[in-house]
Amino acid sequence: MEEFLAARFKEEEALALEALGEHGYGASPWSFDEKNGGFDFGFPNEHFNVPIGKFDPRMQHMARHDPRKVLREVAAKREVVEASWSADGERAAGLGQAIWLLATAYATHPDYKSIQDS
């Protein structure tokens, strides 16, 4: 289970870092404007302001996936997995279920069935 989750977290982290420009694209500002319902992002030679409007939930959903937020979420998930083990190497009470619940977010991944069967 931990290997499956670690691989998914690594994939999410890599995409977020690339979106931020950590791989040669330069720092990418990314911000969501709650008041005007738009978001800004850019690359060294390009900058985009996308007015998505307050009434388009699909675009608002995409805009809220700031790569920095994704990185914070990945870090938090890694800490949950790490905290699930007690000092004596046993699963801490209740956190084993939390790990399975984290994995359900990746139910459409091709490797998910293999962890369900284990």
- pLDDT single digits (tens) 42-64: 555 565 666 666 556 776 676 66
What is the per-residue pLDDT across 98-112, written as a single tens digit (0 to 9) for each? 888 889 999 999 998
> In this predicted model, which residue has the larger pLDDT, 86 or 3?
3
Question: Quick one: tokens of 31?
Answer: 């911000």
Question: Quick one: tokens of 29?
Answer: 């500002």
The β-bridge partners of 43 are: 46
Alpha carbon distance, N-terminus to C-terminus of the chain: 9
Which DSSP symbol is given to 51? E
- Residue 40 · residue 29 · CB < 8 Å: yes
What confidence tier does 14 reach under pLDDT thresholds 50, 70, 90? very high
Which residue from 25, 26, 4 is spatially nearest to 77, judged by alpha carbons? 4
What strand order describes the sheet that includes 46-51? 30-33, 38-43, 46-51
The pTM score is 0.69
* In the chain, domain spans: 2-116
